[in-house]
Structure 1
Amino acid sequence: MKLLKDILYGAGLNAVNGSTDILVNEIRFDSRKVAMDDVFVAIKGTLTDGHLYIQKAIDSGAKAIVCERFPELLVNGVTYVEVADGNTALAVMASNFYDNPSKNLRLVGVTGTNGKTTISSLLYQLFKKAGYKVGLLSTIKIMVDDVAYPTSHTTPDALTINKYLGLMNEAGVEFCFMEVSSHGIHQKRTKGLVFEGAIFTNLSHDHLDYHKTFAEYRDTKKVLFDELPKNAFALSNIDDKNGMVMLQNTKARKYTYALKSFANYRGQVLEAQFSGQLLKINELELWSKLIGQFNASNMLAIYATADLMGLETLETLRLLSELDNVDGRFQYYISATKITAIVDYAHTPDALKNVLATIDTLRTGNERVITVVGCGGDRDSSKRPVMGHIASEMSSQAIFTSDNPRSEDPRAIIHDMETGVEPQNEKKILSIENREQAIKAACQMAESEDIILIAGKGHETYQETNGKRIDFDDFKTVKNLLNSLNK
């Protein structure tokens, strides 16, 4: 148990009714999880308002309430704390509750539309190979050195973040790499964390169902850099037109990386094939197992981060050449009959275009590219026609199918994708609602040397429909189908 007044330090208090010199057991922001002697933080969420559940939390045993406005009825024996912003207060309180664990770590945040998972995961790999104890907070999993934990959000809630950072402290972890989503920044989940550095990858069409405008989406990402301390580093990809925007107001030391522009860390692709690519970074050459311009950019960011954090240059280059692809990121399998199946998380127009462009550079010209792609339900619907256009324009054959329909009708989602197909490409598309059947159709169509791209879900091992998750793994599915069809 911890003193409430210690947990509240720096949380932005406006008013207090009752004593803060009391011991509390846990911090809760979900009233259903409140137990005896907990402190309940009322959060205004996108779907509901925690202030509506204050009495329920008290009935469940909460002895303190943190909220943005006091309820009309104040219960005797309960401490009420009014704060300026509930999300900020929760994040700061979480950090205090777990003894500010980020202060004991060399924490780096990675933000941008694409590349966050690859960069953070490969930085974890690289520093582990260099002999350090390392932590990872990513879309795919949470790692506390060698111990893996599942995760359901790109940026977990503030309590979860600090809980695992605390476990990293206990395990003697020195470095931690963390994906930072726009949702996480907007909902103040990273407030109270001390970052040694932040990396910006790129910005393209995504999450406009949440942020409404591209400018709001961009400016939300920028907050991570605006709040960096002056002894931190800010590393930005200036091949992206928003790269310099991220650095405008930061107090941190500014560094840039690019494949096409003059930058502190400059890269170039010298040679590319399915087995990997030869890269030049600041006049030094290395071979990478990762494929594509986007991965060349990711490798550049990783090299720059390692350099800024003090790793020796030649050792870093050696370790970069040993890094393996991240699950669901241009993960490929070549069948006995030389059909190549590629599974990629590409779920935005820009990511899909990048992957198809990469495939095009690796083709000899005779292979067909068969793309299986869908779009998620209950998410930004404006990108669906764009995804449909890109898939039909850049593929020999495109099969539109379900992704994670969630509460939407998958047929309606597919119809939205079809509206983006231009007349000359209509004969190239096929719509199959069932994802497994869509992948099976692609396998049946493919002949020797052809390439099948399955885009959108990547590392995910489930499909989400009407609130239920069923087991589904794109990579296992296509591999099994190709083998069973003797392809």
Structure 2
Amino acid sequence: MKTLKDILYGVSLSAVSGSTSQLVSAISFDSRKVDADSVFVAIKGVLVDGHQYIDKAIASGATSIVCESLPVKMVDGITYVEVDNANKALSIMAANYYGNPSKNLKLIGVTGTNGKTTISSLLYRLFKKAGYKVGLISTIRIMVDEKEYPTSLTTPDALTINKHLELMNNAGVEFCFMEVSSHGLHQKRIEGLVFEGAIFTNLSHDHLDYHATFSAYRDTKKILFDSLPKKAFALTNIDDKNGLVMLQNTKARKVTYALKSYADYRAQILENRFDGQLLKIGDLELWSKLIGDFNAYNLLAIYATAEQLGLEKLEILRLMSELGNVEGRFQYYRSKDGITAIVDYAHTPDALKNVLDTINALRTGNENVFTVVGCGGDRDKTKRPVMGNIATTLSNTVIFTSDNPRTESPSKIIEEMEAGVEAQNFKKVLSIENRKQAIKTACQLARANDIILIAGKGHETYQETNGIRIDFDDFKIVGEFLNEMGK
């Protein structure tokens, strides 16, 4: 066990009342999970202020309180520590408590609007194939070499991150690839972590319900690069107009990649088909099972990262040729009638456009494209009409439906998507609130060789309405319907 003084090392303190020499059994920011002799960190969240639960934490056994505002009435025998930013303090304390595990492996952060899960997951697979012990912290799962742990956030809380990094240390993990979300950056969840490198994918419309402005969203992403040490690398996509912004203040080695611009790493798409694409990276060619321009960027970022981490070029390409799609990322099913059903996590305007552009570039023109799409409740409302417009412009038929409504009215969300539909595209639209019925309808309407895109939920195996989650897997459901219909 460490002392409170040990755990507070590196935390900027405003005031301390009481002793910091006591041993600490655990750290918690949830008063319901407080144990005896633990530290309770009072976080001012979006919905709940942890300062309201200080007394409850003490009653449950907390002997130390870390907070942004000291209580008017303080309990004898309890140590109170005042800090400017409790989120930042929690992250530094978590790193100290678990022995600063990020220092003992090569941690790579992946940030951007789209592509984070694909890049981090495929880098994990590639380095596993290369014979290394590897870790992954992603939207889909946390992996400690071969062992899987569930996760519900793109970037988990600091205690969860450091706990699993310590498990990686114990397992002898050499590399860890981690998705870094704008929420995670803004809430200081990565403070205290030491990164070997960072990757910027792209930036487009998302999370403006949280960040309010696009510039605030962009600048939050930039925090990852601003905090990199000199020995790290900063890899950025300079085809994105925000790519160079990420490098403005970084101390790290600057590395660029692009399909259209001059860059350190460049790729050219030689051939694109539904079963894969042929890329030229530098002077070498790669046949990949992943398709579309957006995946060409992902693959190039993976190649560049692997080389920056010391793998040999031909070995990287050999391993990349064996990589398949990540769950819920352009994951497709072919029926016996040749109907192609594609499930993709596309939940932003840019991601939806990328997927539909890819589909339209590959089709002959004789097939119809049916798009089933919704928008999540309690999230950025401004993207709903934009996504409605993109879906109806780039598809033959669109079925607006529920995504994860959460606490919002599903019909209201659909109405907001319909508001973006241009007059000439109204005839393309069906609105079916029940997502399962919407998928079934798309399957009923599809004929041989048609294409069904089910967008928005991707890898998720649940649907959330009013705090209740039910089992719901887009990929499984569309496959079952097409089989039942004999298509």
- When normalised by structure 1's length, the TM-score is 1.00
Q: Letter of the 2:451 partner, please give it.
A: I
Partners of 2:279 and 2:465 in 1: CA distance = 42
Structure 1 unaligned runs (5+)? Answer: none
Identity %: 75
Amino acid paired to 1:278: L
Q: Secondary structure at the match of 2:321?
A: helix
Report the counterpart of residue 215 of structure 2 in structure 1. 215
Aligned equivalents of 2:311, 2:228: Cα separation in 1? 22
Aligned to 1:270: 270
CA distance, structure 2, for counterparts of residue 228 and residue 110 of structure 1: 13
Q: Shift of the alpha carbon at 1:15?
A: 1.5
Distance 1:435 1:57 in 2: 42
Aligned to 1:100: 100
Are 1:4 and 2:4 an aligned pair? yes
Matched, 1:137 2:137: yes
- Give the structure 2 partner of residue 328 of structure 1: 328
Q: Which amino acid aligns with 1:486?
A: G
TM-aligned CA deviation for residue 206 of structure 1: 0.2
Quick one: distance in 2 between partners of 1:12 and 1:283? 51
CA distance in 2, matches of 1:148, 1:347: 25
Cα displacement (A) at 1:16: 1.0
Identify which range, 246-255 or 42-51, moves more after superposition.
Answer: 42-51
> Quick check: 402-411 or 63-72, which moved more?
63-72
**Partner residue in 2 for 1:382:** 382
Q: Deviations over 1:285-317 (max 9, x none)?
A: 110000100000000000000000000110001
User: In the aligned structure 2, how far is the partner of 1:418 from the partner of 1:81?
Assistant: 51
1:255 counterpart residue number: 255
Instruction: Give distance in 2, aligned partners of 1:292 and 1:459.
Output: 19
Return the offset for 1:467: 0.2
SS in 2 for 1:21: coil
What is aligned with 2:37?
37
Structure 1 counterpart of 2:406, which letter? R
Superposition pairs for residues 249-398 of structure 1, below 5 Å? 249-398=249-398
- The Cα of 1:155 is off from its aligned counterpart by 0.2
Per-residue Cα deviation, 1:377-396 (whole angstroms, up to 9, x for no partner): 00000000000000001000
- Distance, in Å, in 1 between the alignment partners of 2:225 and 2:44 is 25
Cα deviation for residue 79 of structure 1 reads: 0.6
How many Å apart are 1:24 and its aligned residue?
1.2
Structure 2 residues not aligned, in runs of 5+: none
Alignment of 1:44-123 (within 5 A): 44-123=44-123
Distance, in Å, in 1 between the alignment partners of 2:359 and 2:154 is: 27
> Which SS does the other structure have where 1:65 is aligned?
strand
Q: 1:23 — aligned with what?
A: 23
Partner of 1:114, secondary structure, is: coil
Answer yes or no: is 1:422 the counterpart of 2:422. Answer: yes
What residue identity is the alignment partner of 1:407? T
The equivalent residue for 1:233 is 233
Please state whether the residue corresponding to 1:63 is helix, strand or coil.
Answer: strand
The one-letter amino acid paired with 2:338 is K
Q: Which residue of 2 aligns with 1:198?
A: 198
- What CA distance in whole angstroms lies between the structure 2 residues aligned with 1:365 and 1:324? 27
Residue 415 of structure 1: CA displacement? 0.3
Give me the whole-angstrom Cα distance separating, in 1, the residues matched to 2:446 and 2:67: 59
d(CA) in 2 for partners of 1:128, 1:21? 43
3-state SS of 2:399 partner: strand
SS at match of 1:9: coil
Let me know the Cα RMSD of the aligned residues.
Answer: 0.5
**Separation of aligned partners in 1, 2:83 and 2:361:** 55
SS in 2 for 1:381: coil
Cα deviation, residue 84, structure 1: 1.8
> Which is further off, 33-42 or 220-229?
33-42
Q: Partner amino acid for 2:166?
A: G
State the Cα distance separating 1:461 from its structure 2 match. 0.2
| Distance in 2 between residues matched to 1:96 and 1:24, nearest whole Å | 12
Aligned-partner residue type, residue 296 of structure 1: A
- Distance in 2, Cα, partners of 1:383 & 1:274: 29
- Deviation of 1:14 (Å): 1.7
Question: Does the residue aligned with 1:322 lie in a helix, a strand or coil?
Answer: coil
CA separation in 2, counterparts of 1:445 and 1:69? Answer: 60
- Give the structure 2 partner of residue 183 of structure 1: 183
How big is each residue's C-alpha offset from its partner over 1:148-174, in whole Å with a ceiling of 9 and x where there is no partner?
111000000000000000000000000
Equivalent residue number for residue 174 of structure 1: 174
Confirm whether residue 480 of structure 1 aligns to residue 476 of structure 2.
no
Q: Cα deviations across residues 252-300 of structure 1 (Å, max 9, x unaligned)?
A: 0000000011100001110011110000111211100001000000000
Residues in 2 aligned to 1:39 and 1:248: alpha-carbon distance in whole angstroms: 38
> How far apart are 1:87 and its partner, in Å?
0.5
Aligned partner letter, 1:446: A
Deviation at 1:202, TM superposition (A): 0.2
Supply the AA of the counterpart residue of 2:2: K
1:63-85 deviation line (CA, Å, top 9, x unaligned): 00111121111111101111121
Which TM-score applies when normalising by structure 2? Answer: 1.00
1:386 maps to a residue whose letter is: V
Structure-2 separation of matches of 1:259 and 1:204? 18
After TM superposition, the runs of 4+ consecutive aligned structure 1 residues lying more than 2 A away are none
CA distance in 2: counterparts of 1:36 and 1:227, whole angstroms: 35
Shift of 1:2: 1.8
Q: Cα offset for 1:365?
A: 1.1
Q: Which amino acid aligns with 1:106?
A: K
> Partner of 1:151 in structure 2?
151
